[in-house]
Chain A
C-alpha cells in the first residue's frame, strides 16, 4: 500500500490529511459542544476594562505574566483560588501565557491597588526592589483607543451573545448590569466615567489633567483592567 501511495501524490496527500486531522477531531470538537459557560460572578468586561485589555495585549504583557492559577497549594497560597474554566468565558483571546518571568496576574485585582500600579508601571524597581520589569512610561502619554474596544463589545454581543446591558448573576445572589453604549459617543462617555473613578486614586497630575480634558491615557485603562482581575 505504501509503495502505491508513494506513486500517487493525490491519494498520498489525502491519507496524510486524514491521519493528521484525526487527533483534532477527537480532542477538540467534543469540547466545543460544551460552550464555555461563565461561572456565577463572572461578568463581561466594561468598555474601559476591555480597552485596558487591549493595552495589555498591545504590550505583550502575556509574554511574561500568566493568568492561570494551577491547583497547587503553593500557587493558591501565592495567587488565590485556582482558576476555573468558566472564569474565562469572556476572554477572547485567552491570556494564560506560557512563561512566568513575572508573577501570575489572574487575581491581581484582589491584592494590588490603583496607586500601586501607578507607581509600579512608572518605575517597577521602586516598588519591587530587584525587579527586572521595564517601565511603561509611554502608557502615561498615549491615549487609549476606546472606539476599538467599543467595536469589540458590539461584535461579541452580536456574534457571541455576551450579556451587555443584561443582569449578570453575582455570588451573593444579587446581579449587576455591565453597560455598553448605544453609540460611539455614549461608549466614550461611559469609559470616561470609569476613568474618573480610577484617576481619583492616582497622583500623576498630567494623567489627571488628561482625564479632566476628556482623554484617557493608556495607564488608566490598563489599571481598570487589572483591577477587574479577581
Chain B
C-alpha cells in the first residue's frame, strides 16, 4: 500500500453543513418574528388577515423550536459527526460503499422529515408536546432516520483503524442511544383510526391523528423526562463532543485532563436523566420526584463544569490565541456560556426560586443563553473549522468573523439580561399582595409591564440573526476563497483578511 495520508470523504458532511445553515436561518428568523410579535402584536397579521392563521404567534412557535432543535442543531450534529467520526477513527467513508450509501440515505430521508414536519406544523398538526410535536407518521420516519444514523455510526466504528475511541465518539454514541430511548418512550401513542364504533365503523376522522399512551400526570412526567433530556442529548452531549474535538485541534493544545473528561462523561450520563422533575415543581407529580429533580439538577453542576473547565484549562498558557483568533473566541465563549447556563439551570431548579421563575420569561432567557451562547456558538465554530478542510480553501474573512462574534455576543447578552428582568418582574408581580391580602396586580398588568424587555429581547435576537447571516455569507464566500495547501491545515484554521 502506498504511504500517503488518508483522504477523508466529506460528501455527507457537506450536505448536512448546508442544512445546518439553511435551517439555522429559518429557525432563527422565525424566532425573531415571534419576539417582535410579543412586543408588537400587530405583527401577527404581517401577511394580512387571510394568512393570519399561518403567521400567528401560536402556530409559529413550535416551528421555531423544532426548526432550531431538529433543523439547525441536529444538522450540525450530523455534519460534525460525518467529519469528526472519520478523522478520529482513522477511516474514510469512501472505503465502504455501504456506509456511503447509508450516509446519503440518512441525509435525504432527514430532508423528507424536515419538509413533512414544516408542512404539518403550519397546518396545526401537532401532538402539543414540546419538541415532540410530530404525529405518528413523522415519528416513525424520525426513528428510521435515527436508526440509519446509528447504523452508519457503528458501521464506521466497526471498520476503524484507531482502536481506542476518542472522547468525542463517546459523546456521539451517547447522543444516539439517549435520543433513541427518549424519543421512543415519549411518543408512544395509539392512532385513532383503530377506534371501532358500535356499528363497526373504523378509520374515522383524519388518519394521522393519535392519542397519547399516557394520561395527565404520567404524561407530564414522561414528557419532561423527555423534554429535559432531549436538551441533554441534543444540546449538551453532542456539543461537548464537538468541543472536545475542535478546541484541541484548532488550538494545537492537548486536552487538559483525561481523567476529568472520564469523570465528566460518566457522571453526566448518570445524573442528567434524573433531573427532568425540575420542570414539574409544585405540580401534581409525586413530591419525592420533584425533590429528586431539584437535587440532581444541583449535582449536575459537577459534570457540566468538569467538561467546561477541562476545555478552558486546555487553553492554559495559550490565552493569547483567544485574542488572536476569532474561532478560538467562539469556542472559549461557548464553553463559558456552558458554565453560565449550567449554573443558572440548577439555581432555577431550586424549589423556592422555581416558584418565581416557572412559567416566566426567565426560563426562556435560560434556554437562550444556553442555545445561542453555547450550542449556536459551538456549531458555528465547528463549521468554521471544517469549511477550509472541506473545501481546501481559507476562511474568506477573519475581520467579518470577528465582527460577527461581537455582534452576536451583544445579541445574546441583550437577550438573556432582558429576559431575566422580565421573568423576575413578572414572577414577583404575580405573587404580590396588597395590604389587605388581595392580589396587587391583574394579569394584564404583568403583561404590559414587559413591553420594554420584549423590545430589547427582539433587538438581541435580531443582532444574533444578523450575525448568523454574516456567518452564512462568510462560509459561502469561503467556497471560492484562496486555495490552501494541506500543510496549512494542521491546526489553526487559515483565514483571509
Residues of A at under 8 Å CB distance from B?
2-3, 6-7, 9, 12-13, 16-17, 19-24, 27-28, 31-32, 36, 57-64, 66, 68, 70-75, 77-78, 83-85, 87-103, 125, 128-138, 145, 147-160, 181-184, 187
Contacts and interface: CB of A to CB of B under 8 A. Distances in A.
Contacts of A75: 430
Interface stretch (B221-229, B239-247, B249-257, B330-338): B221-229
Nearest to A42: B216
Nearest to A132: B41
B1 interface: no
Contact of A20 (B52, B177, B209): B177
Nearest to B153: A9
A182 B289 contact: no
B279 interface: yes
20 contacts: A9-B157, A20-B272, A27-B277, A36-B218, A57-B126, A57-B128, A66-B359, A70-B358, A72-B431, A74-B439, A75-B430, A78-B430, A90-B216, A92-B212, A94-B215, A99-B360, A150-B205, A151-B193, A153-B195, A155-B192
Given A57-B126, A152-B195, 19 more contacts: A20-B181, A21-B273, A24-B273, A27-B274, A31-B218, A31-B289, A70-B358, A74-B432, A77-B439, A88-B284, A92-B212, A93-B214, A100-B359, A129-B444, A150-B197, A151-B195, A151-B209, A156-B211, A158-B196
A228 B418 CA distance: 37
Interface in B22-43: 37-38, 41
A200 B461 CA distance: 46
B59 A60 contact: yes
Contacts of B219: 88, 91-94
A130 B448 contact: yes
Interface in B100-134: 124-130
A145 B358 CA distance: 34
Interface of B: 37-38, 41, 44-45, 49, 52-53, 56-59, 61-62, 124-130, 154, 157-158, 163-165, 170, 173-174, 177-178, 181, 185, 190, 192-199, 201, 204-206, 209, 211-212, 214-223, 225, 262, 266, 269-270, 272-274, 276-277, 279, 282-286, 289, 292, 296, 355, 358-361, 363-364, 430-433, 438-439, 443-444, 447-448
Contacts of B430: 74-75, 78
A77 B205 contact: no
Contacts, number: 264
A108 B216 CA distance: 18
